[in-house]
A and B are shown apart, each in its own frame.
Chain A
């Protein structure tokens, strides 16, 4: 019961911080926080493959980027396309791509999976780069209208206002994160973890491996697509280098590892750490990758379970000592 109360207090505090954030900080930090939230969702979808199902995707940007492009294209070409459908289109596109690739992806594990996703990721990247008529090539797509959030009979909220958009983005990410967290708690979520631990045994327990893996891939793809869609709305510009390139694929991997693979909240912490770090480092040098790389190496070497794992170990040690004395 006490534990439950603590949890409620924690959530209320988080809610107040999120709500008060734009009142306290300037526009720069509002966008900074929105970007952090979007990448948190994106990194969580990667971790649902890496930490939960046990496969490493080196081309995760393809889901993120496809979602972003789908939203940008819908807003550019369809006049008066509303806001929520624009976000859903991104999710649908990401999920559809995962559905198309799943017959191949469910057949491989380990290095083969990583290489296959890398290949498809690069393929989509080149496709977006070369298919200029649709994607605008290197320039990407920009200048599309950001529709207002229209709640029938209540209000129409202007989304070009950055504070309003901040609330919208954070709400979408929070809802998605809740859905994904719930997803990990369902029987199906448990079966997915079984794939990671022992796929042969899972097969012999009567679970259809291919279907299980495919559904998880589609869920990851769809939510990564939603993250991409919100990203497209935030940046008001979608270009290959911004959403489809290899560094967009690697960013969530670093976030997941730094925060803690296998923990649901780990990638969110990782995303926060990397975003803060970038904000800090850029004041001194342009070479953010160098600093990120060093941190990544340190984490992999000395804290393979990430910050969440470190925290857990510290807590266990502390708790243990308290008990002994």
Chain B
């Protein structure tokens, strides 16, 4: 069954077509990578799916239910989590408080006014468990804005995961990380998304080919190919448009 499906999705920024008839299908439980050169429309696709923008045309389905243009907080409550390409955390709050907000949301505690949040022990306990799982328990009381880059990215990914979504959309989770940090982040993603559906935008081909079950290649706002990694690697159109280019760049 497809957990996420887009049908004939179009999006334009005042005349500039960024998405052109995108039919994306993500199966439940798979790790699906979206790749493509800069400006291919990958992040726009994420933004349209997760409700940042309304699509100009087309429909988005989540678990068979139409969610086109639904607001981000509604989608999160349905079970869609998302991380951002540009780290987006609560920078003046501590790491603990960052994760705690996600836990509060997960538990549906949104307008609670009768208890002090510090005294809600189940929340504190669960938050600390999450921090331990993502190895940020030593940075518990540090403002998120003061974390090292790699740790800050981990927090970013963890915020998307802490609400325990069924579908996780990661927008370049390893952007700007060093080799070691990337390795660590990939392990973290692998560990925390066990058995869940993940859609991931990634530029690092090593990460893509080691992590993804299926790959969709986006080029000029159109889907060029979709398939398992070995097929994509051999696809001539993809080589011409994207993979070839990277090899030239590397050389």
Contacts and interface: CB of A to CB of B under 8 A. Distances in A.
B109 A187 contact: yes
A194 interface: yes
Residue from the set B89, B93, B101, B163 with the largest chain A CB neighbour count within 10 Å? B101
Interface residues of A, number: 27
Interface string A183-223: 10111111101101110111111111101100100000000
Contacts of B102: 205
A21 to B, nearest CB: 30
A182 interface: yes
Nearest to B144: A197
Contacts, number: 91
B76 A206 contact: yes
Contact of A198 (B89, B123, B163): B89
B101 A194 contact: yes
B210 to A, nearest CB: 27
Contact of A185 (B88, B97, B116): B116
Contacts of B111: 188, 211, 215
B115 A206 contact: no
B110 A203 contact: no
B163 A188 contact: no
B122 to A, nearest CB: 12
Contact of B89 (A193, A201, A207): A201
A206 B109 contact: no
Given A201-B88, A204-B82, A205-B102, A193 B93 contact: yes
Contacts of A188: 110-113
Nearest to B105: A206
A204 B115 contact: no
Interface string B99-123: 0111011100111111111101001
B72 A190 contact: no
A183 B73 contact: no
A201 B110 contact: no
Nearest to B120: A187
Contacts of A197: 90-93
B44 to A, nearest CB: 16
Nearest to A219: B113
Contact of B113 (A183, A193, A196, A204): A183
Nearest to B109: A187
A6 B114 CA distance: 26
B159 interface: yes
B50 interface: yes
A208 to B, nearest CB: 5
B77 interface: yes
Contact of B112 (A187, A202, A203, A211): A187
Interface in B155-206: 159-160, 163
A319 B103 CA distance: 34
Contacts of A212: 110
Q: How large is the interface on B (under 10, 10 to 19, 20 to 34, 35 or more residues)?
A: 35 or more
A194 B90 contact: yes
A6 to B, nearest CB: 19
A249 B106 CA distance: 39
A208 B77 CA distance: 10
A201 B160 CA distance: 9
A201 B159 contact: yes
B239 interface: no
Contact of A182 (B72, B100, B110, B116): B116
A190 B101 contact: yes
A186 B82 contact: no
Nearest to B104: A187
Contacts of B97: 190
A193 B118 CA distance: 15
Nearest to A208: B73
B71 interface: yes
Contacts of B91: 197-198
Interface string B112-149: 11111110100100000000000000000000000000
Given A198-B88, A205-B159, A186 B114 contact: yes
Contacts of B81: 204
Interface in A273-320: none
Nearest to A186: B113
B107 to A, nearest CB: 9
Given A194-B93, A197-B93, A208 B101 contact: no
A196 B71 CA distance: 19
A145 to B, nearest CB: 35
Given A186-B116, A209-B73, 18 more contacts: A182-B116, A187-B104, A190-B101, A200-B72, A201-B88, A202-B101, A203-B71, A203-B73, A204-B50, A204-B88, A205-B101, A205-B159, A205-B163, A206-B73, A206-B105, A206-B106, A208-B73, A211-B111
Interface of A: 182-183, 185-191, 193-194, 196-198, 200-209, 211-212, 215
